Amino acid sequence: MFLRLFGILRLAQGDLWRGLLIAANAGDDTDTIGAIVGAMAGALGGDVPPAAEAQVMAANDLDIDAVARGCWHCAL
């Protein structure tokens, strides 16, 4: 799995959104691969397009901003 992860990051050239799209379409364990690729590419300073972010926010009842703030505070 690690070779696949690093291969996706290489194909995406560090671009978060591109990496997530590749991971989602790679098949097999796409949720885990997407989560790890997202974390690694996001750590490089990637960003998700506003339209994609709005779609995720509309499809979930979660307060994702609050979850993200909580994760940020745990990391400090």
Residue 47: how many other CB atoms lie within 10 Å: 12
pLDDT of residue 28: 85
Angstrom distance (rounded) from CA 19 to CA 6:
10
pLDDT at residue 74 greater than cutoff 90: no
The confidence score (pLDDT) of residue 23 equals 93
Q: Are 5 and 37 in contact (CB under 8 A)?
A: yes
- SS3 (DSSP) at 60: coil
pLDDT, tens digit, 9 for 90 and up, residues 2-61:
788 899 999 999 899 999 999 999 888 899 999 999 999 988 888 899 999 899 889 988
Cα torsion angle, 17, 22, 24, 25, sign: positive
Please report which confidence band the pLDDT of residue 76 belongs to, taking 50, 70 and 90 as the band edges: low
Task: Please give the residue range of the domain that contains residue 71.
Answer: 2-75
Total domains, the chain:
1
Residue the block writes with tokens 């990637």: 46
